[in-house]
Amino acid sequence: MSYGKMTERIILLAAPPTKDAEGFTTKGKHILAAARAYKEDRHGNTAWKNRAAFSKATALFRFRVIPGLTVTTAMLILHGCDYYNILSVEDVKGRGMYIETLAEKVVPNG
């Protein structure tokens, strides 16, 4: 993966639950990092067929490891105006250089 293929701008967000004054729990969004990433949308090639276990995944994001930040499935990715829930996180080839995430696009209710 070369840096030239990482043309998309993403923002990693934490979504910890917070309580308001009336006691209702809501998810707040806090920016953890901004990065350049490679994005691949779901389509019918063999690589996506092999990812059948993650049938809800609609996009794949690949980006460089951010020092001091551990990416987890509790985080969100903001790409443009779209939010994505992270379904899986994997270290590409176990080298500690790149992270690959499978994510599901969040569709707002209403």
Return the CATH number at 26: 2.40.10.270
Does any domain span residue 76?
yes
Does any domain span residue 66?
yes
- CA 57 to centroid of chain Cα atoms: 10
How many domains in the chain?
A: 1
pTM: 0.77
The model's pLDDT over 60-102, given as tens digits with 9 standing for 90+, comes to: 999 999 999 999 999 999 999 999 999 999 998 888 899 999 9
Provide the residue range defining the domain that includes 33. 3-105
In the predicted structure, residue 4 carries a pLDDT above the cut 90? no
Phi (first) and psi of residue 47, to 5 degrees: -65, -40
The model's pLDDT over 12-58, given as tens digits with 9 standing for 90+, comes to: 998 777 777 787 877 778 899 999 999 988 765 555 556 555 568 88
Residue 110 pLDDT grade (very low, low, confident, very high; cuts 50, 70, 90): low
